[in-house]
Structure 1
Amino acid sequence: MLDNRSVVIDQSGNEILNLPFRHLSNFYEDRAEVVNKDNKRGFIDKSGQVVITAIYDDTKGFSEGLAPVLVNNSYYFTASQRSYI
C-alpha cells in the first residue's frame, strides 16, 4: 500500500487493480472487504467496483451471499447496499 492505495497483482506480478483504500482483504464469494482512509469498511467486486460503500465501522467477509455489517452498535446481515436482514 502506498499513499492509502491498495494494489492487486496477478501471479505474474502484473498490476491488475490500483484502488484508493488503505486495506483490501482476500476475496470471498467474489467480494473483498475494503477500508478507506477514515477506517470505514465496505466491499468491492473482482473488477474493483464498489458494491457496498465503505460506511460501516466493522464488516466481516461474505458467506452464503451475506456479510455481517455493524450498524448503530448492532450487527446485521447484508447482501447489497443498505439492505439489512
Structure 2
Amino acid sequence: MRYDKATVKEFILNYHKTIEKDNTCDYDIDTDEFFNVNDQAETHDIDNNNVEESIFYNELDAIIERIATEKEHNLSLLIC
C-alpha cells in the first residue's frame, strides 16, 4: 500500500491521542483470590471506534519494521 507523506505524518503525530489508557487494573489481590477458579471471568466490551486507526498503524509498523533499522523502528514506536 502506498500513502502520501502528509497522511502518514499526520497519523503518526496524532495516533497516541486515539489510544485509551483507562483500562488498567491496579488493585491489590492476594494469592487466594488470584488462583480462585470458582469466580466468573469479567467480560469487557470491545471498543470498535479505533479499528481503522489500528489497522493503519499495523500496516505502517510492518513496513517500518521491514525497511528500517532497529533504532529507526524503536524511534517510530516512541513517536506513535
Taking structure 2 as the reference length, the TM-score comes to 0.18
Taking structure 1 as the reference length, the TM-score comes to 0.17
Mark the structure with the bigger radius of gyration: 2
Point out the structure with the larger strand share. Answer: 1
